[in-house]
A and B are shown apart, each in its own frame.
Chain A
């Protein structure tokens, strides 16, 4: 048997890329000849192959093809249609276009095209559909995928690397004061809820006092400049300019320093297929505060505090509670550690992948 991992863009330190590379590694460790096929590879030393060569390698009846579906890509449909072996779709979710429509038309187009492909992928009748979350799998089932061919496990991640990495001392020094630090990690995009985050943080500063700081870690995209401007506009409106720190591009060391310096990880994202930063925070002992949308309640589970509310005062009061109640922080940390160990540790994910593929020893 040979295995092929298929995806349009393979980027290092990207959630989908991490998942794809970890799967390839695990299959190779099981003695299966595995290759990664992609159009574009960014920042990698590994050898990748062109998608049009996939069928020549793993197109036979005994072979395995795993497609990482996170964006519209007709090439993959064509390849899956022709592959004669076991076909597996790993669905990472696609952000609905309405988030981008008022800001970047081309982004909205890409999302529309991607979501239009969900039905086509399901119509191919693949052998297995893997969701990062039940939220993702349910979307496939709504489009007609048979529930008995579905399985769910979290994406592979780099939390263990983050654990082992040395934190950036300069950033640790910079953030070492008595300010209460709230952290958000995620690219600057309209579905990520940065505006709501600013509103909640402003309510916290107004109602519960200083010193406090909001640390936003995430890349911005020039094509989403209008959204960045909107976020900055809210910061200026609330006169929070000196209390908000943006770290646009961070390496592992700076990311670790950001987690270690923070008192709370807060995300008010409106659409997530899984949200890896939540489990990074859980593993590094930062209490998690989140808005219960999309897959977030499922990812956070009992390991954090989730609210099905848009009210900024609720999040502000939650931050105040987390600042003042050491026992509550301790309880959240303990629960988060337990949840990470039982649901998201690499050994658990590996066993679930091999189990889903019927490759368990």
Chain B
């Protein structure tokens, strides 16, 4: 990722580009909306008589405390009281302000003036209340007003005494009921506490059991861990031994290669080889057209390939013994290093006109023979030929198939090859066989 600033700049530029594209785009069709949670805010306006502006003062002073202030807001300002304003008026009440003063505060506020509610009898009372706040005069006004309202106050006092007495009676009854409920609750709590303690003891015991089991399981886990470690150790040892075996096998292969490279043929042997190979090459050339594609398996130092090329064939070979491949390369002969059968299996279907094989380069065993026959049937074009050279190869450590020419002939006949022939020359035989059937059709019944 870029540095964060660069990343932000890039994202912002992409957003601006997207905004420009979106501006030009036609609006998308809208899907069904998600479930509706709630509607637009509904401001509680219940109980507000919007058209009524005329009130009597007694209508607005029946309620007390919060209910009184809320009713005053709804009647005078035609709206519910907001929290701060309502609390402010309640504070005034708590400090001893009269209801008339609260009503007046609201009525002659800027908002109240705009609404313009008319409350009969409020103005003189409000003025009187405000006058009582004036230093000196206020005190006298309070005195006079209080003196004038003494009879009313006395009547209120008596009524209040009666109400208080009745309320005290109700409170005492409620208190008794509360005490009874409290007693019952205390008993329930005690019962509950003892049950909880009992349960706690049971849980404690169960924890003890779980603890013991846990210790047992921990031991088992430790043993398992030990086994896993031992298994790991064993696997590591096996891997190390396999690596040693592979190393030894490589070393042996290298020694065999060195040994093979060190074998020298006598002049007589070389001459016999050349004669034999010249004869076989002409036999092969007689069965193939000029420029036929030939793959030789087990080419040695490439001398055999040179003979085929001299007869006009397009021949290449594969040889597993490294020193022989090097010797071929020195003489510019087309011999590749590698396993002959693996090379044959990599060729595509119907891509060759003939395959020549040095029997001595074949590993012992039926698996190798089956691989050879299956691959040959697939790789050879039609008509296509397989030629097997059965001769002594002193520079090879491999044992070959162990077949003589007749056994090769019998084997290839059994595998469905046709036009079989054996060309005997001193020191070796060449078995020639034409591959029958369609390209890719297995001669051994493999699927």
Contacts and interface: CB of A to CB of B under 8 A. Distances in A.
Contact of A205 (B18, B30, B38): B30
A191 B54 CA distance: 37
B25 A207 contact: yes
B41 A220 contact: yes
A243 B41 contact: no
A203 interface: yes
Interface in B279-323: none
B11 A211 contact: no
A321 B43 contact: no
B83 interface: yes
Most buried by A among B18, B25, B82: B18
Contacts of A40: 84, 87-88, 91
A225 B43 contact: yes
A11 B85 CA distance: 12
Interface in A157-205: 171, 174-175, 177, 179, 188, 203, 205
A106 B110 contact: yes
B110 A243 contact: no
B35 interface: yes
Contacts of A220: 41, 43
Interface residues of B, number: 38
Interface in A266-323: 302, 305, 311, 313-314, 316-318, 320-321
A161 to B, nearest CB: 21
B111 interface: yes
Interface residues of A, number: 57
B83 A11 contact: yes
B27 A207 contact: yes
A247 B31 CA distance: 23
Contact of B36 (A106, A205, A242): A242
B83 A42 contact: yes
Interface string B7-32: 10001101110111011010110111
B445 interface: no
B151 interface: no
B28 A206 contact: yes
B19 A317 contact: yes
B22 A328 contact: no
B33 A210 contact: yes
A223 B79 contact: yes
A39 B88 contact: yes
Given A223-B82, A331-B4, A209 B28 contact: yes
A235 interface: yes
A321 B83 contact: no
A337 to B, nearest CB: 14
A174 B38 CA distance: 10
Contacts of A211: 31-34
Contact of B80 (A222, A321, A328): A222
Nearest to A211: B34
B332 interface: no
Contacts of B22: 203, 207-208, 313, 316-317, 320
A79 interface: no
B447 interface: no
A317 B37 contact: no
B88 to A, nearest CB: 5
Taking each of B83, B88, B91, which has the highest tally of chain A beta carbons within 10 Å of its own beta carbon? Answer: B83
B215 interface: no
A221 B79 CA distance: 10
Interface in A242-275: 242-248
B40 A222 contact: no
A222 B84 contact: no
Interface in B341-381: none
Contacts of A248: 41
Contacts of B34: 177, 179, 211-213, 242-243
A232 B40 contact: yes
B266 interface: no
A245 B87 contact: no
B19 A316 contact: yes
A32 interface: no
Nearest to B14: A321
Nearest to B88: A40
B40 A246 contact: yes
21 contacts: A174-B35, A175-B37, A177-B35, A179-B34, A210-B31, A211-B31, A211-B33, A220-B41, A222-B82, A223-B79, A223-B111, A228-B41, A232-B40, A239-B30, A241-B40, A242-B34, A313-B19, A313-B22, A316-B19, A316-B22, A331-B7
Closest 8 CB pairs of A and B: A242-B33, A206-B27, A207-B22, A179-B34, A317-B19, A245-B37, A210-B31, A317-B18
Interface of A: 9, 11, 39-42, 105-106, 109, 171, 174-175, 177, 179, 188, 203, 205-213, 215, 220-223, 225, 228, 232, 235, 239, 241-248, 302, 305, 311, 313-314, 316-318, 320-321, 325, 328, 331, 335
